[in-house]
Structure 1
Amino acid sequence: MTGSVDTAQVVAARVEQGELIGAREGDVAVFRGVPYARALRFSSPRPAEPWRRRSATEFSRAFVQSADPDSAEDALYANVWTPDTVASLPVLLYIHGGGWQVGAGSVPTFDGAHLAAAGGLVVVNFNYRLSGFGWGLHEDLADPETGLCANWGLQDQAAAIRWVAENIAAFGGDPGNITLCGTSAGGGTAWLLALRAEEMGIRRLISISAAHAAPPATSLTPEDSRRVYESIAAELGTSVAGLRDVPYAAFHTAWLAAFAGDPGSRRVLSGREYRGPIRDGVTMPEFAHVAPTPSIPVMSIHNSTEGSFFTDPLSPSFPPAPPVPVGEAQLVRAVRGVLGKLSADVPAGLAEKCVRAYRAAAEDEGLPSDPRTLWTEVWGDALFRNRIVRLAERHARLGTTPGYVMQFAHPVRAPHYGTPHDATSKFLFGTYSHPMNVAQFGDRPAERRVSTLFMAYVASFARDGVPRAVGAPQWPEFSASRPSTLILGGPAVARVDGVPKLRQLDFWREVP
């Protein structure tokens, strides 16, 4: 997509493929809809086609997703915000989340202008392939040039990193100082890509509310992936290789149908909650929880109530939240439903044991123990916080680089509650006051202070690997045995303490 801009605001940058015409907007220059790669369906990304002079003032379309009728397969584009096109500034490359199914760099929440200006950073985000177009595996879809047959979205992300390393100097960025950052699904794949930090040219990692992929909850097994592609091909009257040529809407509809409804009724047992990266031995050699810890400095962030994104009836989560449990029997059923996201076979009595463990921990710590709160805590810990904290502990124990842990705790406004999954992005990018966010997150001095500190810590970390902010506590390297978690948000605004609600996580040590 192209656009025009007042000539007084025009700013140019020359990348490998050709000249880009962007726009100066306030304190930053912005280049939108920049092709970083091109891809045929189920093929590895190729270098973008060259151009002579290209307008970069409008976002590209999002990649195919049901809620966006304007979305399209031609979507491998990046967006760049820079304070100074002739400087050599630290680079923050951001991977959006959305369960590997939705999202785009054009979402207003991820507008990089505030962070770029406040932090003195070049901020980049981008689109990548989603759902069955981006996250699957089948040998009949092997690329004739690369031989790769899986994780096309992960391949896109790697291509974006390479494009940034090769071209970011044209925007005033330092190609030798790239920090990779991502939230949720993007946080999980950022972690995987950071395992190849030296190869990719990544200097630091910021992983936020990471959805770490592993079957059966958040990744398909290779066997199940093959079965889904083969069954869809049969439904559409073609071969697996022939799926490259069917209308994209037909394939997308069939993919969504394969994972619709109750997980127990599906044709496969893995990918029960999300369909993310698949362990193929090449693009993803191993899952994060068994792979070596990253060899670069790591900032690991989670929210205080990750689960409230999914249990708040007013949340934008998809599918919508189930009814809030009332009473013990409903609570046990609700918790069993969460456990069912992690396993096709929930042992008898495990849900009751989970409720007892969480209630005892809450009561001992003086925390609420009503059904909604316990259900919310279980949901958030099961899918996010448990593995995030455990990986941070392992990095502190086995890693050779500094690790920093933050619990983001700034509460949302009533009738919303807690600090839900993905609350962080509104404050990292300073977009909490955007019309799509302000009703939930507010626009008061407290929000401005939290966002200012968040940006400062992140910008400092991206600059030299040490997170610091003026007028805020020194953030020590993480150790599970002493107070070293930065709690950002809440009455104290910023403080250092031990890992909150650590006892609740003890339950998961006993769960395979």
Structure 2
Amino acid sequence: MITRRVLLGTTVALAGSAVLAGCGSPARAADPQVTVTGGAIRGEAAGKVHVFRGIPYAQPPTGENRFRSPRPVAPWRDTLNTNKFGSEFIQPAGGDPVRQEDALYANVWTPSIDGAALLPVIVYIHGGGWARGAGSLPVYDGAALAERAGAVVVNFNYRLGAFGFCGHPALEDPDTGLHTNWGLQDQIALLRWVSDNAKAFGGDPGNITLIGTSAGGASTWQLSVHPQTRPLLRRIVSISPAHVWSPYLSLTPDDATDVFDALAVAQGVPVKNLKDVPADRIRDWWVAQFALPRSQRVVKSGRQYRGPVLDPVLLPAFDVNQPMPDIPAISIYTSTEGSFFTGPKAPDPQPQPTDAASLRASFRDILEQGASSLSEVTVTDAVAAYTDSAKQDGRSTDPLSLWTELWGDALIRYDVLAFTRRAAVERRAPLYLMEYAHPVRPPYFGVPHESTSPFLFGTYAHPTNVAKFGDGPKERETSAAFMDLVAEFAHGRAPGSPRLPRWDPVGPDLRQLVLRDGAGTITTPTKARQLDVFDAVQWGK
């Protein structure tokens, strides 16, 4: 095992960091200014909050730093303007702004910087399958949440794709000894940065609530049990977490090595010289490789997504084999997670099943991504279980609906409820379970994965969101209730809202809050028979 000589985030700053734009430009009297690690920064007033965008929390991961642990920022002399978002990290082609590697920036919204009464801090980790996304997306604008919650809200970018979640021994960092999961290392560095700088924004470094959705929800869970970050956190909110395991959502360490070997061969360089290859060439090879049918890929794991790789320091075991968090947690899933993947504008569109034969093929395709072997009888039983469950509940049994249910259960719901059952038995800390059930508008359908974020942040009416999520009284009430729950939790109280019934931590009966139309009910999870399918194939075991 590699000896870790220096802990993450404690390496000395390297010389020659990128020149920071905006230093020394004229200030306006109303512009808020604070001093953070690296130097003074200037933000701007946005309604009732102050906002600082594009704050560097680590050196650009370019050149020699590409496949290394994040380095602390090099100090700057003049005041740095932080009124523009940093770039999104390089990711699959398409859309604006231009994506690039120099993207390790944080964004902060705060109601007050006077520090008279330190505020709770909410840190949010965006999702995107460990390959897409950015804190700068309009959906994650933290102004409304910061104001309503009376909290400092922070989001950020981290390394993605091949640059963030793979690994190879030839890329061992000379200072930390680490050679995997650079994106996870960025998240650790960001939490340390927040702890060091929270007071500058009026925040309490001893009262940090970590929230994430999808891949970010999985990261939230992992960081809550990681020995380097657990002491920094008071509580977590894990929303629709895609808990990693191999072969479904993670490369094995051997496969990570093999795929980087193949990448290096394709680029005509040794692995250690991949730092010199143009970033878009690495991205394009990576995307093309995993777009191939599974039988044609270089490796057999990472079948659906490529999340963190097992590593003795960064991820010593997959979530299912790690202890449960010992801090209060809220765990959230949506009613039909799968409609994000089977509905309009899906991130990776696939042909929809239209009859019994194509439905069987679609079921087989999903189950094969996690099962070591799969018989025809197992596929038949799975289709029957989902069909019968839908009939009993009065839900639709058409192929698209059944496929949608399987998608959401495989990726999210099965694991969320499995971890909830563990929490009810082990009782290490209070865990609150919520089903988010507020539907989207046609032609979208159901309650898709990632339909929570516009309501957590109050951005459902933004021009990029309103067609899907609406902007009526029910949407306003739903968002208000959701933000109330998080605000109460961040302030150290039980999550609650005047709009909702009393919500207690889960017990043996797995009681949950169902949030829809701005109102809530207390129930137990439904559609239990569907999940027996995953037990039968030892899903995630």
**Shorter-chain TM band:** over 0.9
**Counterpart for residue 184 of structure 2:** 154
**Counterpart for residue 127 of structure 2:** 97
**Counterpart for residue 452 of structure 2:** 424
Secondary structure of the structure 1 residue equivalent to 2:326: coil
Secondary structure of the structure 1 residue equivalent to 2:129: coil
**Counterpart for residue 308 of structure 1:** 339
1:303–1:409 Cα contact (<8 Å) kept: yes
Structure 1 position 211 matched with structure 2 position 267: no
Structure 1 position 396 matched with structure 2 position 434: no
Q: 1:235 Cα shift?
A: 1.2
Q: Which moved more, 1:324-333 or 1:65-74?
A: 65-74
2:478–2:515 Cα contact (<8 Å) kept: yes
**Counterpart for residue 485 of structure 1:** 512
Q: 1:349 Cα shift?
A: 2.6
**Counterpart for residue 439 of structure 2:** 411
**Counterpart for residue 348 of structure 1:** 376
**Counterpart for residue 454 of structure 1:** 482
Match of 1:64 among 82, 85, 90: 90
State TM-score, norm by structure 1. 0.96
Structure 1 position 249 matched with structure 2 position 270: no
**Counterpart for residue 47 of structure 2:** 26
1:162–1:200 Cα contact (<8 Å) kept: no
Match of 2:530 among 504, 507, 510: 504
- The 2-side partners of 1:393 and 1:5 are apart by 57
- The 2-side partners of 1:152 and 1:159 are apart by 10
Give the counterpart letter for 2:121 in structure 1.
V
State TM-score, norm by structure 2. 0.91
1:5–1:57 Cα contact (<8 Å) kept: no
- The 1-side partners of 2:36 and 2:391 are apart by 58
- The 2-side partners of 1:107 and 1:261 are apart by 29
Deviation string, structure 1 residues 398-421 (Cα, Å, up to 9, x no partner): 132100010000000112110000
Give the counterpart letter for 1:157 in structure 2.
Q
- The 1-side partners of 2:420 and 2:21 are apart by 43
Give the counterpart letter for 1:15 in structure 2.
V
Deviation string, structure 1 residues 188-219 (Cα, Å, up to 9, x no partner): 01110000266441010110000111111110
Secondary structure of the structure 1 residue equivalent to 2:347: coil
**Counterpart for residue 123 of structure 1:** 153
**Counterpart for residue 433 of structure 1:** 461
Q: Which moved more, 1:81-90 or 1:298-307?
A: 81-90
Percentage of identical aligned residues: 47
- The 2-side partners of 1:480 and 1:384 are apart by 21
- The 1-side partners of 2:53 and 2:112 are apart by 16
Give the counterpart letter for 1:49 in structure 2.
A
Structure 1 position 273 matched with structure 2 position 338: no
**Counterpart for residue 195 of structure 2:** 165
Give the counterpart letter for 2:512 in structure 1.
T
Secondary structure of the structure 2 residue equivalent to 1:137: coil
Deviation string, structure 1 residues 440-478 (Cα, Å, up to 9, x no partner): 100000000000000000111111041011131111111
RMSD of Structure 2 on Structure 1 (CA): 1.6
The runs of 5 or more residues in structure 2 that have no matched partner are 1-19
Match of 1:143 among 147, 156, 173: 173
- The 1-side partners of 2:355 and 2:206 are apart by 56
Q: 1:352 Cα shift?
A: 1.5
- The 1-side partners of 2:312 and 2:342 are apart by 36
- The 1-side partners of 2:26 and 2:166 are apart by 40
Q: 1:396 Cα shift?
A: 1.8
2:166–2:181 Cα contact (<8 Å) kept: yes
**Counterpart for residue 163 of structure 2:** 133
Structure 1 position 382 matched with structure 2 position 382: no
- The 2-side partners of 1:476 and 1:407 are apart by 14
- The 1-side partners of 2:261 and 2:289 are apart by 11
Give the counterpart letter for 2:381 in structure 1.
K
Deviation string, structure 1 residues 172-195 (Cα, Å, up to 9, x no partner): 110000001100000001110000
1:294–1:399 Cα contact (<8 Å) kept: no
- The 1-side partners of 2:526 and 2:508 are apart by 11
Give the counterpart letter for 2:245 in structure 1.
A
- The 2-side partners of 1:219 and 1:428 are apart by 28
Secondary structure of the structure 1 residue equivalent to 2:42: strand
Give the counterpart letter for 1:493 in structure 2.
A
How many pairs are equivalent?
Answer: 507
1:228–1:258 Cα contact (<8 Å) kept: no
The runs of 5 or more residues in structure 1 that have no matched partner are none
2:262–2:298 Cα contact (<8 Å) kept: no
Deviation string, structure 1 residues 332-353 (Cα, Å, up to 9, x no partner): 1111122133246433332221
Map of 1:224-263 to 2, 5 A cutoff? 224-263=255-294
Match of 2:69 among 34, 44, 53: 44
Secondary structure of the structure 2 residue equivalent to 1:259: helix
- The 2-side partners of 1:286 and 1:465 are apart by 32
- The 2-side partners of 1:330 and 1:408 are apart by 30
- The 2-side partners of 1:399 and 1:49 are apart by 44
2:461–2:470 Cα contact (<8 Å) kept: yes
Deviation string, structure 1 residues 235-283 (Cα, Å, up to 9, x no partner): 1111111111111112112222221122232111100110000111111
Give the counterpart letter for 2:519 in structure 1.
V
Secondary structure of the structure 1 residue equivalent to 2:419: helix
**Counterpart for residue 501 of structure 2:** 473
Match of 1:185 among 190, 197, 215: 215
1:408–1:424 Cα contact (<8 Å) kept: yes
Give the counterpart letter for 1:169 in structure 2.
K
- The 1-side partners of 2:327 and 2:244 are apart by 20
Structure 2 CA distance for partners of 1:69 and 1:461, relative to 1, 3 Å: closer
2:88–2:97 Cα contact (<8 Å) kept: no
1:61–1:70 Cα contact (<8 Å) kept: yes
